[in-house]
């Protein structure tokens, strides 16, 4: 049984995967944060990314859907005006788009799964920020991100065991 417990092991394991395997494990990372968005487009795109038999056409279509969701949910304002819940949805959509990044015509994404994992962590971080006072409260942010990293290590370990 593979047990990933350090960031170095995490990155090495991801780099050892084929692009199709990275896409599937990235989709699992995204599935773990889907509870942080209400955007059905992202959920449907994640379903496509998770399908190891998805066609290149369906992957490209889902990528465009997820990318548009990420662009539409992007927050462009001063930090004090940011709605952290919208920022959370943006990072979930961005993670989903990363999991579907094009891999045709010679374009390759060596760090596809790692990029998706990073956006998932950012989504979890934003979701953990309490912003009901004048300044954002980051008191539980570190714990939330550390749990997300641990969960991703478990997801990757399980995926490797299935191979």
CA–CA distances in Å: residue 22 to residues 2, 74, 106, 109, 157: 16, 25, 17, 9, 13
Residue 146 maps to a domain? yes
pLDDT in tens, the chain (163 residues): 678 989 999 999 998 998 889 999 999 999 999 999 999 999 999 999 999 999 989 999 999 999 999 988 877 655 555 677 788 999 999 999 999 987 654 555 568 899 999 999 999 998 888 766 666 667 778 889 999 999 999 999 999 999 8
CA 60 to each of CA 14, 97, 112, 149: distance values in angstroms, whole numbers, following the listed order = 22, 10, 15, 28
Per the structure, the complete domain to which residue 45 belongs is given by 13-162
**Residue 81 within a domain:** yes
Residue 121 lies in a domain: yes
Question: Residue 91 burial by CB count (10 A; 0-12/13-18/19+): exposed, middle or buried?
Answer: buried
Overall domain count for the chain: 1
In-domain check, residue 8: no
């Amino acid at each position: 049984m593979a047990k990933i417990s350090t960031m170095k092991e995490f990155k090495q394991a991801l780099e050892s995967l084929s692009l199709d395997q990275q896409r599937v494990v990235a989709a699992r990372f995204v599935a773990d944060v889907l509870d942080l968005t209400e955007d059905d487009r992202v959920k449907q795109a994640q379903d496509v990314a998770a399908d190891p038999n998805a066609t290149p056409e369906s992957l490209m279509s889902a990528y465009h859907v997820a990318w548009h969701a990420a662009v539409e949910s992007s927050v462009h304002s001063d930090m004090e005006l940011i709605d952290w819940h919208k920022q959370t949805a943006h990072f979930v959509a961005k993670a989903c788009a990363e999991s579907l990044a094009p891999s045709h015509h010679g374009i390759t994404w060596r760090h596809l799964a790692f990029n998706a994992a990073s956006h998932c962590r950012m989504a979890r971080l934003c979701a953990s920020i309490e912003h009901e006072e004048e300044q954002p409260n980051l008191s539980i942010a570190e714990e939330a991100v550390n749990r997300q990293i641990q969960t991703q290590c478990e997801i990757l370990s399980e995926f490797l065991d299935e191979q």
